[in-house]
Amino acid sequence: MRAAIIDDDDEILDLIEQILKEEDIQTRRYARAEKFLADLKRHDFDLIITDLMLPGISGLDLLDDLNSRGIDTPVVIITGYASIDSAIEAVNRGAFYYIKKPFNIEEIRCAINRFRQRRDTMEMVKALQKQIQMLQERIEEINREKLQDIPDLNNLQGNLEAGKAFAAIEYLGKLKSDGLISDKEFGAYKGKLLKRII
């Protein structure tokens, strides 16, 4: 797992980097958002932790930039200028988590745990979606097989007509053996019945 840390304060970068290393997360650190954005072409990140107030592009502007690029990597905003308004603004622009300075180690760990829970949930959702798709494909396959097993209605109609004709011929045979119709009449009736099914 890889995380980008963006802050113009080296002490903050050192502290967050140390916490992430203890959580087995590889890090790249940046003093400016511009440098981070330029690096995005060469590196992929699973998590971004950025200060709200940065020289140049701010943390909120960074969120807008990432959104415009279609990058949905979770972003944790850290700020020493915490307020309800800035927190709401950060969340509205897509921030995953919001931490105010001075922060303690547990707050960073809490953000990481929430990120991991989100990642695990997303992976579970993807796995379930894949299973649902496989089930739908299997159901469609079974339905196709069942449709193939249904006899053609025209053939079914023909089979019914043939069955009736042979039953009638059999009945005529009894009438002939009982002397109720002649051989000639039996042949004529039989011929007519056979013409219907051929």
Number of Cα atoms under 13 Å in the Cβ half of residue 65: 12
Euclidean distance between CA atoms 79 and 89, whole angstroms: 13
Which tokens sit at 69? 């690029």
Segment 15-25 mean pLDDT: 91
> Could you tell me which of 105, 117, 121, 115 has the C-alpha nearest to residue 21?
105
Quick one: pLDDT at residue 103?
82
> Could you tell me which of 123, 49, 36, 45 has the C-alpha nearest to residue 79?
49
Residue with the larger pLDDT of the pair 189 and 152: 189
Which tokens sit at 136? 């739908």
Quick one: pLDDT at residue 158?
53
Which residue type sits at 69?
A: R
Quick one: pLDDT at residue 29?
92
> Could you tell me which of 109, 63, 66 has the C-alpha nearest to residue 89?
63
Q: What is the pLDDT of residues 105-121, one digit of tens each?
A: 888 888 899 888 888 88
Residue with the larger pLDDT of the pair 177 and 51: 51
User: How would residue 197 be classed by pLDDT, with cut points 50, 70 and 90?
Assistant: low
Q: What is the pLDDT of residues 134-168, one digit of tens each?
A: 888 888 887 777 666 555 544 545 555 666 767 77
Euclidean distance between CA atoms 170 and 166, whole angstroms: 6
Which tokens sit at 82? 């915490």
pTM of the model: 0.62
Q: What is the pLDDT of residues 28-86, one digit of tens each?
A: 999 999 999 988 888 889 999 998 888 888 888 998 899 888 888 899 998 877 666 77
- φ, ψ dihedrals at 53, nearest 5°: -100, 110
Give the chain's radius of gyration (CA, Å): 39
Quick one: pLDDT at residue 153?
44
> Could you tell me which of 96, 127, 126 has the C-alpha nearest to residue 114?
96
